[in-house]
Structure 1
Amino acid sequence: MTSRRPPRCAASSSRCSTAAPGPTSALPSRCSAPPCRSGCRSRTAGRSRRGTAPLTADGSGGDWYDTFELASGKVALVVGDVAGHGLAAASSMNQLRNGLRTLLVAHDGAVGPALEALDRLAKQLLPAEMATLWAGVLDPATGVMDYVCAGHLAPLVLHDGEAKFADVVRNPPLGFLREGPEVGRLTIGPGESLLVFSDGLVERRHAELTRRLAELRSTAAVTLDLEVLEHRMTGLESEDDATMLLVTAS
């Protein structure tokens, strides 16, 4: 993905779907954020579906997405997934989400040091949990995104009806890093989109992951409507949580 001119970045989706109301809900309650101070047109949004696993009555889960503007004008884009369901997973998710927000601000958007510190937090405070994470910091003026992929599935890159999975730099899940994470870099060029998602969108019992990923790729090449993608990939009775975040440069 090569930027041919400085893009304006917009993240888009169909309507937002949030967690059930309550203290464990940490998903954004609105789809869009104000325009960024750097002058770009930046709207951040996502979609999250709670699975049907009957573990709690409040719909709590461990998936989340997050996006916010940093003081530099760059934009943080995060999709995370704590294993499991229920209040324990939701509590861990809240700690990781809020911890990452704080660390990205404290490190001025340097995603590597922020994730290294978050990994230490996970080891000390959440030793029994396993979580995967995609965390990127996007420069809307250039389309360049520095990211850390910690045990997470690679995002989809989409352009002109074509879809392919990004060739990403991989790290172990949170809590299992032995040293600072390796930071990758990609560029979202004009007209290109990046779809980051949790594994609940594609993982199914008795179905090969490679086949499910191919199904997602072919579906996303036809439509980027997140509601359509969700219904096509998860159906109505999936037990797993599923979360998506779509970023499009224009």
Structure 2
Amino acid sequence: MNAPHLPKVAGIDSTVPPPAHTAPPVQPAQGAPATPGAQGAPGALIQDRLAGWVSDLTTLHELNERLSRTAALDGALNELLRAGAALVGARRGLVVLEPADGLGPTTTVGLGLARADLGHLETVPRAATSFGRLLDATAGATPGAPQSVPDAGAPAAAPVTEIVQPDLLADEALDPRHREVAVRLGYAASYALPLLTDTAGRVGAVVWLYDEPAEPAERQRHLIGRYLQYATEHLARLVDLDRARSTTATLRAELLPPRLPRVAGVQLAARHSTGPRGGGDWFDALPLPDAALGLAVGSVTGSGPSAVAAMGRLRASLRAYAVMEGEDPVAVLSDLELLLRLTEPARSATALFAFCEPALRKIVLAGAGHSPPLIVGERRTEFVETSLSAPLGMLACWEAPSVDIRPEPGETLLLYTDGLLQRTGDAMDRAFARLHAAAASVPKAARDDPGEIADHVLRTVLPEGLDGPAAAASEEDVVLLAARFE
């Protein structure tokens, strides 16, 4: 084939066609002496074939291992394109993720194609592209049932296996817009395959592009077919996982305040990040009668949808109790503890509730197994001395004394969940020290904005950020609520 030369990958040189069968040994003429080594030709042929099979199996095993280590859709799609390009001898390609059930996610990822290149390809009519024809042919496909591709050169009932266009520019039936884009991007041939599974049906389609007229050899087609059998199943699992995470994240976002209230005398800012599995950390800011304000943070044990649902129920209950008796934080948490113990006896939670009167710069707060808040100002940065108490749901009867705080003008109260400390990876005493140092180092110019204070603290405590590599490796949520009193 005339594809550009690629480096050899795991024993396969994609530009070299499969070795030709060894010709049968020539029989010497009658009476002529036997040629040395002629009798060994059949054995050499078998050895060559075995060596080729071993090389192919080794290659597929290594490529499948690399793909199995991808835990996100983008990484898996990029690995699929790179491995497939090496197997079919192409330099560029794209994969279109479009599950047949229409539930998403949908995306297009390119190999060797910039965003502008993908934009040009999107201007080609869908029916004129090989991947578009594959996707339309398998739309609503019943898992395991063969489908047909509307290809002029194929029988009407041909099963979906591949679409080969070995010389695009020589094809008189090629769509004019497709021809224009092919010339602009500099590709002359393509090889497309559907991504189908027996259980999920269609997942998408993948296309590899050649710079010159070319097509994969029979051996290469066999290898890429075997590779896609595993790759498509892996993608289908990641699609299900992505949907579950998206559903949990959406549910959690709907259960948290969509915006913070405006209350005279206080400025509010909140930052939060959900762990990979979705946890039960939450925050709230609730306007109360007589220009008061209720602030709360908490955490429910566990992770996943059940923890998120429990968090929503707990937060809604706390809002109701805060409206009825918010001026007494101990009573609010006592009611919450009783509700949790009666309705969810197998679950525990921590919580901190603060009743604020901004006009008087007065705060009354109580905590149940929760980390103490921080007061940050020009003249002090200190943890609030809250009483030690058990988490909600741990004792037959919960009660702890409240604490009164009188913030000075310009001081900020920081409420947070334990996830902020645990994501540091340090022991708790060192994590508390890091948090204190971060709050104390807030620049003077940033102290007038609670959002800038929260961002500085997070950048200092978590140098990799809320969504960095440490976040992906941690199961902990992070919540930080800042209230600056004027």
Tell me what 1:75 maps to.
Answer: 293
Counterpart residue number, 1:27: 256
TM-score, normalised with respect to structure 1: 0.81
For 1:98-134, what per-residue CA distance to the aligned partner results, in whole angstroms no more than 9, with x for missing partners? 0000011122532222211111001011211121111
Map of 1:1-250 to 2, 5 A cutoff? 20-22=249-251, 25-30=254-259, 32-34=260-262, 36=263, 40-52=264-276, 55=277, 60-160=278-378, 162-177=380-395, 178-204=397-423, 207-223=426-442, 225-234=453-462, 235=464, 236=468, 237-238=470-471, 239=474, 240-250=476-486
Residue 441 of structure 2 aligns to a residue in which SS?
coil
Give 1:85 deviation, angstroms. 1.5
Structure 1 gap ranges (5+): 1-18
| Maintained 8 Å contact 1:65/1:78 | yes
- In structure 2, how many angstroms separate the alpha carbons of the residues matched to 1:206 and 1:106? 40
8 Å CA contact 1:24, 1:91 repeated in 2: no
- 2-structure distance, mates of 1:215, 1:205: 9
SS of corresponding position for 1:20 = helix
Please give the alpha-carbon distance, in whole angstroms, between the structure 1 residues aligned to 2:366 and 2:360.
Answer: 19
Determine if contact 1:24/1:90 at 8 Å carries over to the other structure.
Answer: no
State the distance in 1 between where 2:461 and 2:374 align.
15
Aligned partner letter, 2:287? E
Distance 1:143 1:80, change over 3 A: same
In the alignment, the residues of structure 2 paired with residue 20 and residue 204 of structure 1 have an alpha-carbon distance, to the nearest angstrom, of 19
1:195-224 deviation line (CA, Å, top 9, x unaligned)? 111000011485211111111111111225
2-structure distance, mates of 1:190, 1:130:
37
Between structures 1 and 2, the one with greater helix share: 2
The number of residues matched between the two structures is: 221
The structure number with the bigger radius of gyration is: 2
Take 1:23 and 1:215, find their aligned partners in 2: how far apart are those partners? 29
> Gaps spanning 5+ residues in structure 2: where?
1-247, 443-451
The secondary structure found in structure 1 opposite 2:251 is coil
Q: Closer, same or farther in 2 for the Cα pair 1:167/1:23, shift >3 Å?
A: closer
Cα distance in structure 1, aligned partners of 2:291 and 2:423: 39
- Partners of 1:228 and 1:61 lie apart in 2 by 24
- Rounded Cα–Cα distance in structure 1 between residues aligned with 2:318 and 2:455: 27
Q: Is the 8 A contact 2:386 2:402 kept in 1?
A: no
